[in-house]
């Protein structure tokens, strides 16, 4: 899970400052991880303040909602080595 968290942060940094819908993230990582693992890792990153989570109405389906994710400044600091977290394994480690 630590490796997945690092991969998720790296992915979100690559699209920064844009945000991405949860299903978009799952579609990128589903080949290697189960959707439950991806969602749990995203929630961990949200809880730690590395990622921002926002829920909004779906633009086409009035009754559905979308969950969007965006990396925070703290998440970028973690990737750049300004801060450390043993719960997130970064690629260069």
Condensed to tens digits (0 to 9), the pLDDT of residues 15-54 reads 999 999 999 999 999 999 999 999 999 999 999 999 999 9
Residues contacting residue 87 through CB under 8 Å, at least 6 positions apart: 2, 5, 44, 48
Query: Which one, of 67, 76, 65, 58, lies nearest residue 11 by Cα?
Result: 76
Mean pLDDT score of the chain, rounded to an integer?
93
Confidence (pLDDT) at 63: 85
Length of the chain equals: 93
Place of tokens 């303040």: 49
Q: Kindly state the greatest CA–CA separation across the chain.
A: 44
Structural domain boundaries of the chain? 2-80
Confidence (pLDDT) at 61: 79
Give the domain 2-80 fold: Arc Repressor Mutant, subunit A (1.10.10)
Predicted TM-score of the model (pTM)? 0.90
> pLDDT band at 92, cuts 50/70/90?
low
User: Does position 78 have pLDDT exceeding 80, yes or no?
Assistant: yes
């Amino acid at each position: 899970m630590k490796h997945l968290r690092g991969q998720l942060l790296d992915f979100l940094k690559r699209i920064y400052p844009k945000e991405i819908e949860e299903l978009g993230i799952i579609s990128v990582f589903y080949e290697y991880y189960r959707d439950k693992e991806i969602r749990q890792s995203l929630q961990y990153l949200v809880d730690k303040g590395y990622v921002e989570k926002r829920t909004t109405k779906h633009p086409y389906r009035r009754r559905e909602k979308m969950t969007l994710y965006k990396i925070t400044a703290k998440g970028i600091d973690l990737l750049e080595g300004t801060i450390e977290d043993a719960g997130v394994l970064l690629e260069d480690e």
